[in-house]
Amino acid sequence: MEAPPATASRSAAAVCVTGAGGFLASRLVELLLSSRDHYVVVHGTVRDIGDGKNAHLKALENAGERLRLFKADVLDYGGVAAAIAGCDGVFHVASPVPSGRPTNPEEDVIAPAVTGTLNVLRASYEAKVKRVVVVSSVAAVFNNPKWPKGKPFNEDSWSDEELCRKSEEWYNLSKTLAEREAFAYAAKTGMDIVTVCPGLVIGPLMKPTVPTSIKMFFDYMKGDGETAENRLMSVLDVRDVADALLLAYEKPEASGRYLCSSTPRKLSDIINISKSLYPNFPYPKRFVEEEDTITFSSEKLRKLGWTFRPIEETIKNSFESYIASGILT
Ligand SMILES: NC(=O)c1ccc[n+]([C@@H]2O[C@H](COP(=O)([O-])OP(=O)(O)OC[C@H]3O[C@@H](n4cnc5c(N)ncnc54)[C@H](OP(=O)(O)O)[C@@H]3O)[C@@H](O)[C@H]2O)c1
């Protein structure tokens, strides 16, 4: 593929964030708007600009002068291209994160993830974007029966697509296919594409809707009401994941894939920390020891300069935010 002619005038250091109203993307937009010296303009795509669930974006500091919202479904190439035109960098964050079983997995989850990613990449190529950071997930990593038992997963592991399909793990499949397509596109065009694969993300909210990952966190914490599996968990703070995405964009030497995971802690430790801050949660009464737990290595990302805050701080700030926003009373 030949390099296309430049079609849009480039504002100084404009970047685009897809799915800007989402849990993780909102934090990234906030971070970009706070970096006054670097990012003069931030373009954010949302599916419905007038929807109240995106209102928090307009209230962010510096949003008035520097945030431009564009209406775009990632399946709509024209909408995506209009948002990306004139940008130096793109953070592709938008992707369905279903909280239950999708009724039509191909249409509801796979197509927006895979075709959406390809639309974003093609629009970025056309706009001569310098680097695209694609948000993948550990879901694209750990469904791999060939990985040695007990060895922390690293960037070499890919989820097995057939296994995901057979076990109907549609989200895992969507992230695996989308990330593979991203690297295939990079190989075909020479475009600079970096992917980041976070684990379970919690942390303070910017709007009172509960993202799927926080619902999952609550489910782990509740167990079946009586007992819970005392698994090792690597819970990430949404603010640290936003930092990781910015690092993956800004560091010239960043390339390929980056697992993003914190230090694993037993669920019982996480519950003990949480109990002292929020005793009212329906915590389990007993734990069942879970030996067969999986862990991830973020050594590559750490070498890029990534750090993360202590889990105590994440849990404290999370519960404060969940109580303040009314999702926990
Ligand atoms: N949270 C985690 O634990 C975690 C871990 C690893 C990776 N990730 C990845 O991080 C990204 C953000 O997830 P999140 O946790 O922040 O969840 P989220 O709040 O549900 O964000 C998902 C975003 O994707 C948008 N989206 C979905 N389908 C779309 C479509 N067809 N066109 C345009 N936008 C679409 C949603 O827009 P609407 O608001 O319009 O629906 C929303 O803004 C996803 O790529 C997810 O796979 C999350």
15 lines ligand 1 (CB under 6 A): no
What sign has the CA pseudo-torsion 272, 273, 279, 284? negative
Question: Is-contact 282 219, C-beta < 8 A?
Answer: no
pTM of this prediction? 0.96
96 lines ligand 1 (CB under 6 A): yes
- Nearest-CA residue for atom 18 of ligand 1: 22
Averaged pLDDT for residues 66-84: 98
What DSSP assignment string belongs to 217-245?
HHHHHHTTSSEEEE-EE--EEHHHHHHHH
CA 99 to each of CA 92, 170, 236, 257, 267: distance values in angstroms, whole numbers, following the listed order: 20, 11, 19, 26, 21
Which residues lie below 8 Å from residue 244, measured CB to CB, with a gap of 6+? 196, 198, 258, 260, 301, 306
Domains in the chain: ranges and CATH: 14-201+237-262+295-308 (3.40.50.720)
Count of beta carbons in the 10 Å neighbourhood of residue 11: 15
- Nearest-CA residue for atom 35 of ligand 1: 94
14 lines ligand 1 (CB under 6 A): no
Which residues lie below 8 Å from residue 154, measured CB to CB, with a gap of 6+? 259, 296, 297, 299, 300
- Nearest-CA residue for atom 40 of ligand 1: 47
Count of beta carbons in the 10 Å neighbourhood of residue 224: 10
Question: Is-contact 32 250, C-beta < 8 A?
Answer: no
Q: Is 175 known to be catalytic?
A: yes
The four Cα atoms 68, 73, 79, 85 give a dihedral, to 10 degrees, of 60
211 lines ligand 1 (CB under 6 A): yes
- Nearest-CA residue for atom 32 of ligand 1: 73
β-partners of residue 257 are 195
Taking the centre of ligand 1 as the mean of its atom positions, its distance from the CA of residue 46, in whole angstroms, is: 11
Distance from C-alpha of 177 to C-alpha of 185, rounded to nearest angstrom: 12
Query: In this model, does residue 1 exceed pLDDT 70?
Result: no
Distance from C-alpha of 244 to C-alpha of 240, rounded to nearest angstrom: 6
Taking the centre of ligand 1 as the mean of its atom positions, its distance from the CA of residue 212, in whole angstroms, is: 9
pLDDT at position 329, please?
Answer: 82
pLDDT at position 35, please?
Answer: 84
Burial of 92 (0-12, 13-18, 19+ CB in 10 A): buried
21 lines ligand 1 (CB under 6 A): yes
**Of 39, 47, 38, 41, nearest to 18 (Cα)?**
47
Buried/exposed 54-68: b ≥16 CB within 10 Å, e otherwise? bebbeebeebeebbe
Distance from C-alpha of 305 to C-alpha of 244, rounded to nearest angstrom: 9
pLDDT digits (tens, 9 = 90+) for 279-321: 989 999 999 998 777 999 999 999 999 999 999 999 999 999 9
Of 80, 97, 220, 240, which is best to mutate to test ligand 1, by the most ligand atoms within 8 angstroms of its C-beta?
97
Of 18, 48, 70, 95, which is best to mutate to test ligand 1, by the most ligand atoms within 8 angstroms of its C-beta?
95
Query: In this model, does residue 129 exceed pLDDT 50?
Result: yes
97 lines ligand 1 (CB under 6 A): yes
Our measurement of the distance from residue 293's CA atom to the centroid of its chain's CA atoms, rounded to an integer in Å, reads: 22
Buried/exposed 181-193: b ≥16 CB within 10 Å, e otherwise? bbeebbeebebbb
Helix (H, G, I), strand (E, B) or coil at 295: coil
Per-chain mean pLDDT for the chain: 94
The four Cα atoms 269, 265, 23, 65 give a dihedral, to 10 degrees, of 100
Query: In this model, does residue 11 exceed pLDDT 80?
Result: no
The rounded percent of the chain whose pLDDT value lies above 70 is: 96
pLDDT digits (tens, 9 = 90+) for 144-188: 999 999 999 999 999 999 999 999 999 999 999 999 999 999 999
242: left (phi over 0), alpha (psi -120 to 50) or beta: alpha
**Looking at this protein, which amino acid is placed at residue 138?**
V
Question: Is-contact 130 194, C-beta < 8 A?
Answer: no
284 lines ligand 1 (CB under 6 A): no
Which position among 130, 149, 166, 175 bears the catalytic label? 175
